[in-house]
Chains A and B, each alone.
Chain A
Amino acid sequence: MSDFLLELRCEEIPARMQAGARAELEKLFRREMDAAGVGVDDVTVWSTPRRLALIARGLPDATKAVSEEAKGPPVGAPDQAVDGFCRKNGVSRDDLEVRDVKGRETYFAVKNIPGRATSDLLAEAIPAIIRDFSWPKSMRWGEASLSTESLRWVRPLSGIVALLGDEVVACEVHGVTSGAVTLGHRFHHSGDITIGNADDYAMKLRAGHVIVDHEERQNLIREGAARVASEAGLSLVEDEGLVIENAGLTEWPVPLLGRFDEDFLDVPPEVIQLTARVNQKYFVCESKDGKLANAFICTANIEAEDGGAAIVDGNRKVLAARLSDARFFWELDQKTPLREHAKKLERITFHEKLGSVADKVERVAKLAAWLTSDARAPNGDHNAARQAAELSKSDLVTEMVGEFPELQGLMGGYYAEKEGLPQDVANAIRDHYKPVGQDDEVPTAPITVAVSLADKLDNLFSFFNIDILPTGSKDPFALRRAALGYLRLVQANKLELSLEQAAQAWGGLGQAKLGTRVAEFLSDRLAVQMREEGVRHDYIAASREWHGHTDARTDRIEARARALAEFLKTENGINLLAGYKRAANILKKEDWHGAEGEIARTGEEDPLALVDDPDMKAVIDAKMEERHNREIAYTPEPAEKALIDALDTAEPQAAKAIEAEDFEGAMSALASLRAPIDAFFEDVTVNDPDEDKRAARLDLLARFRAAVHNVADFSKIEG
C-alpha cells in the first residue's frame, strides 16, 4: 500500500474556478482508477491560486491478476464459428481449452490478465486526467501554441509533482515532465522545494510559505478578519463569498484592517459595501451601534516587512478613489430630480417590439393606478401608486446605477427620499423589484405591492402579447421569475385579482384572451411552486377551471387546490375519490354521458360554452329539469334512494359554497356523499337486466359525477 500525491502547478487560477477544479480533479482521478481496477478510498483535494493537489491514501502497489474466460461453440462446430470466437476473444485456436458442458465437448477461451504496477497505471492516468480536464475557460500558450492542437489549461501549466510512496511516477504531458520538485510562495520563498512523499507535502509547502489546504486558508481569513475587526473595537460584516474568494487569491493570507475618511459615510452604506466588496474584495465592519464603520479589511498575500503599513496605505488610497467616484455620483445624481431623469428613459429601448423604457413606465403606471383604484388589489392611494410607478425606473439612468446595476431600485428610493417625496412612494421605488430570490422578502406596503405587481404583469403581458414565451431552459426576459414574483405577492397580500380584467386594464377590452394565456402560464408556475411545498400538481390541474373557463384568479386556483389536498388526506376524501373513479369508469365503459353529455352534444367543443347564451338557456334548463325530475318507474332500492336524497342535499350546498368560494365547505358537502356512494356500489346492481333500471342508475352515477365535478375536476387526479 502506498499514498499517491499529484500536484499540478500553473499560473494563477481564477478564484471562482477553484472549487470546480477540485471536484473535476477528483472525478477524473477516480474515473481513471476505476477503469484500471484500482480501489480508491480516501482522496483529499486541495487548491491554491497556483496549484491543484490530490492525495489518495492506501493505493495498492499493483492490480490483481485476473483470469477471464468465455464459453465458445461446441467441438465440431464449423470452422467459421470457431475462428470467429477466437477473433472476438483475441486468442489463437491452439489456446482454446476443451471442457465438458452437459455432456458436450465445448471450447473455452481463457485469458490471464497479469496484474499491473500501480505506478504504471498512474503514469498513463495523469496525462489522461490533464487532457480531459474541463475548465470553464481554457487557453493555449508558449511556443507549442504555434499549433492549435497544443495543450489547453486554465492558465499556463508549469509543473507536475507525482509521487507514489517515495517514488516519482514518471510521465510527460505536452513537454511538462513530472518530478518531485515544486515551488513555494511567489515572494516569500525562492528556489525549489523537493517533496518526499504525500506525507511531507503540506508541511514542506508550509515551510515555503504556502498553506495548501484551502479550508485552512479560509479559516485563517474568517478568524483573522474577525480578530482585526474586534481589535479595532468593531465587528466584522461576515461575507462567506469574500472568504472563499480571498482564499482563492492567496497562498499565505494576512487580513489587514485599514480606515477610510469618515466623510465618505455620507454615501449610502450599501454603496460603500458594494464598492469595497465587488471592486476591491474587502470586508467591511460595523461599529457597536450596528452602523457601517469607516473601516475595511483587505487580505494580503504576504507577511510584509513593515507589518503591512504600506499595503494598508495603498489599499486605503485605492478605496478612497473609488469612494470619491461613488460620492461624486451620489451628489451629481441628486442634482436632477427623478422626474427629470425619467425623461432620459425615452432613449433607452426596453425591447425593439415593445418601445422604450419610458413606454414601459407609462404602462406600469397606468396598471398600478388601476390595481389600487378599480381592482382594489391592493387597496391604496392610486395617485401615490401612479407617482411611484412613474419614477420607479428613473434611477436606471443615474450615474450610480450605471456603475452598480445591482443597486437599481435602492438608489431610486434614496434619491426619492432626498427629494422629499412621500415615504411610501420612496419605499415603493426602492422595493418594487422584490421579491427577487427565493428568500427575498415579499412587499406588503400597498403602494409597493401595486408597483411591483404592475411591473411584473407588464413584463408578462408585453412578452406574451408578442409571443415571446419561455421555452425549455431559455427564459431571456425572466418571465418565470416575474410569474413567481406575481404569485408570491398575491399570496402574501391575499389579493383577489382577475388576470383577464388586469389584461383589459393594461391593453384594452380586447385583451381578455391575453389575460387567459397569462393565467394559464401562471397556474403552471403555481403548480411548480406548490409542488415544492408538497402539494401535488394534479390537484392544481383539478382546480384550474372556473365556470368552464381557465380560472383567471390564481388565488382561487390555489385555495381550491389546497382544500382539495386537505380533503384528499381524509378518509372521506380518499373513499369519495375511489367512488368517483368507479362511477367514472362505469360511465366510460357504458359510454353513458348523462345530462352533461347531452349538453355536450350541442356541437361545442366546450360543453358549457353556451350556458350563458340566452337562446340556449331555456333548452339547457329544460334538459336539466327533465333529467332531474324524470320519474323513476320503479321503486328504488334503499341505497339508491339514499344516494338520490344525499345528492338532493349536497348539490345545492356544494354549489352555494363554490359560489362563495368556500372550498372547504364544498368539500365537506361532497364528504356527505361518501357513505351513500359506497353503499350504492355495495348494494345496487347498475347493470340491471331491466333497461329502465339500468338507465336510471347510470343517470344517477352521471349526476354524482357532475356533482363532484362542480367542486373540482376529479378526472385530473392521478393514481
Chain B
Amino acid sequence: MTKPVWDTMQRNPQTSFQDMILALHDFWSAHGCLILQPYDMRMGAGTFHTATTLRALGPEPWNAAFVQPCRRPTDGRYGENPNRLQHYYQYQVILKPSPADIQDLYLESLKVIGIDPLKHDIRFVEDDWESPTLGAWGLGWEVWCDGMEVTQFTYFQQMGGFDCKPVAGELTYGLERLAMYIQGVDNVYDLNFNGQGVSYGEVFLENEKQMSKWNFEVAETDALFDLFNKAEAECQNALNADVPIAAYEQAVEASHIFNLLQARGVISVQERASYMARVRDLARGSCEKYAQTMAPQWQAKYPEWSL
C-alpha cells in the first residue's frame, strides 16, 4: 500500500523558503506554541500583532508563533536593491513566561532550518529594544550568524507602560535574510520560494516595484491625512465604548498611515514629532485600556497578581 502524500512530504529548509517557514512551524508547534496566522492589517513589525503586544500583558501563560508580513514604506527600493524591501516577512515567537531554556530552544530551531553552530559563528550581541510608541521596552540581544543579524531576542520588561508580570521572551527572525543565508544567494529576489524553482522575485518583484511607486509617488496625501485623522477619531470612539482591541487596531492603522505620509515626504521635521506623539498616545491608550479592562478577569484567576 502506498503511503498517503502527506506522509511522504519532507521539509527542505535549505532549498525552499516556504519549507524553512514550515520547519519553524513544526518546531515551535512541537514545543507547545499555538501556530497563528498573520494579523490581517498593515503593520511595521510583528510586535504589533495583538498576539505579541496585548498578550504580553497579564499573568496568563501564552505561547504562540506566526509569520507576520511587515510593511516599511520608506525601505522600498523599487525592486532594485538586493536586500531592502518595503514588504517582507518576520517570524515571531512569543513565550510567556520566558522558559529557562529559551536560548537552547532558539538555537535548536536554527539547527532545524540548517544552521550548524560548529560551522557558523552564532553570537548573542547586546541589543536592547524599546518602542516608545507601545510604551514598551525589553533587554536582549541581536543574534548574529557569521556577523549577520538574523534574530532579535528580547525579554519584554514593560508593555503599554505596565510591568510585564510575568516577562515574555520574544524572538523575531528575519525570514528573507535567514533564507538568503541558508540558500547562499546574494539577491533576495533569487531565493527559491518553494524548492521547485519558483523564485521570490516571481512572487514579489512586481509587487515591490508597484508598491514602491505608490508609497513614494502616487498615494494621495490629502486622503492619507484624512485617514490618519479618522483612525485617530475611531480609536477614541472605541476607547470610549470600552472595546480596546478595536481601539488598538485603529492605533496600528494610524501608525501605518503615518509611515506612508513619511514615505511621501509631506511631514516636516517639526511635524514628525507631533505625529509620532499622536500615534504613541493612541497605542499606549489602547494598551492601557486593554490591561485595565482585563485586570479583573486576570485577578480572579491569579489572586496574587495586580496590574
Is residue B223 contacting chain A, with contact meaning CB distance below 8 A? no
Chain A residues, CB < 8 A from B107: 186
Chain B residues, CB < 8 A from A15: 126
Contact B165 A146 (CB under 8 A): yes
Given A16-B126, A145-B164: A319 touches B147 (CB 8 Å cut-off): yes
The one of A140, A188, A348, A349 in contact with B167, judged by C-beta atoms closer than 8 angstroms, is A140
Is residue B157 contacting chain A, with contact meaning CB distance below 8 A? yes
Minimum C-beta distance from B214 to chain A (A): 23
Contact A155 B98 (CB under 8 A): no
Contact B103 A11 (CB under 8 A): yes
Is residue A262 contacting chain B, with contact meaning CB distance below 8 A? no
Contact B124 A311 (CB under 8 A): no
Instruction: For chain B, residues 230 to 245, give those with C-beta under 8 angstroms from any C-beta of chain A.
Output: none
* C-alpha gap A147/B164 in the complex (Å): 9
Could you tell me how many residues of chain B have their Cβ less than 8 Å away from some Cβ of chain A?
43
Is residue A508 contacting chain B, with contact meaning CB distance below 8 A? no
Is residue B120 contacting chain A, with contact meaning CB distance below 8 A? yes
Stretch of A295-303, A406-414, A652-660, A668-676 with 4 or more beta carbons under 8 angstroms from chain B: A295-303
* C-alpha gap A16/B164 in the complex (Å): 26
Q: Mark A32-67, 1 if CB is under 8 A from B, else 0.
A: 000000000000000001000000000000000000
Contact B126 A314 (CB under 8 A): no
Contact A314 B147 (CB under 8 A): yes
Q: Which of A137, A140, A305 has the most CB of B within 10 A?
A: A140
Q: Mark B119-155, 1 if CB is under 8 A from A, else 0.
A: 1111111101000000000110100011110000001
Minimum C-beta distance from A318 to chain B (A): 4
Is residue B296 contacting chain A, with contact meaning CB distance below 8 A? no
Chain A residues, CB < 8 A from B98: 141-142, 145, 156
Is residue B118 contacting chain A, with contact meaning CB distance below 8 A? yes
Instruction: For chain A, residues 123 to 142, give those with C-beta under 8 angstroms from any C-beta of chain B.
Output: 137-142
Report whether over half of chain A's contact residues are helix, strand or loop; otherwise say mixed. Answer: loop
Is residue A572 contacting chain B, with contact meaning CB distance below 8 A? no
The one of B121, B141, B165 in contact with A145, judged by C-beta atoms closer than 8 angstroms, is B165
Contact B155 A298 (CB under 8 A): no
Report whether over half of chain B's contact residues are helix, strand or loop; otherwise say mixed. Answer: loop
Given A145-B164, A146-B97, A148-B163: A349 touches B270 (CB 8 Å cut-off): yes
Contact B146 A305 (CB under 8 A): no
The one of B121, B125, B164, B169 in contact with A300, judged by C-beta atoms closer than 8 angstroms, is B121
Q: Mark A147-162, 1 if CB is under 8 A from B, else 0.
A: 1100000111010000
Minimum C-beta distance from B166 to chain A (A): 4
| A258 nearest in chain B by CB position | B147
Is residue B197 contacting chain A, with contact meaning CB distance below 8 A? no
Given A298-B147, A311-B146: A142 touches B269 (CB 8 Å cut-off): no
Is residue A12 contacting chain B, with contact meaning CB distance below 8 A? yes
| A348 nearest in chain B by CB position | B269
Is residue A91 contacting chain B, with contact meaning CB distance below 8 A? no
The one of B117, B155, B186, B304 in contact with A187, judged by C-beta atoms closer than 8 angstroms, is B117
Contact A14 B166 (CB under 8 A): no
* C-alpha gap A304/B141 in the complex (Å): 23
The one of A146, A188, A315 in contact with B147, judged by C-beta atoms closer than 8 angstroms, is A315
Contact A318 B147 (CB under 8 A): yes
Is residue B5 contacting chain A, with contact meaning CB distance below 8 A? no
Contact B147 A306 (CB under 8 A): no
Given A139-B167, A145-B164, A321-B83: A314 touches B141 (CB 8 Å cut-off): no
Per CB-CB distance, the 8 closest pairs between chain A and chain B, nearest first, are A314-B146, A14-B126, A12-B124, A315-B147, A145-B166, A145-B167, A300-B121, A318-B147
25 A-B interface contacts by CB (under 8 A): A12-B126, A15-B126, A16-B126, A138-B139, A140-B157, A140-B167, A141-B169, A142-B99, A142-B166, A146-B59, A146-B97, A147-B165, A156-B98, A188-B118, A250-B123, A282-B147, A302-B121, A310-B120, A311-B146, A314-B120, A314-B148, A315-B146, A317-B186, A318-B146, A318-B147
Residues of A within 8 A of B (CB): 11-12, 14-16, 49, 137-148, 154-156, 158, 186-188, 249-250, 280, 282, 298, 300-302, 304-306, 310-311, 313-315, 317-319, 321, 347-349
Residues of B within 8 A of A (CB): 59, 82-83, 97-100, 103, 107, 117-126, 128, 138-139, 141, 145-148, 155, 157, 163-167, 169, 181, 186, 268-270, 302, 304-305
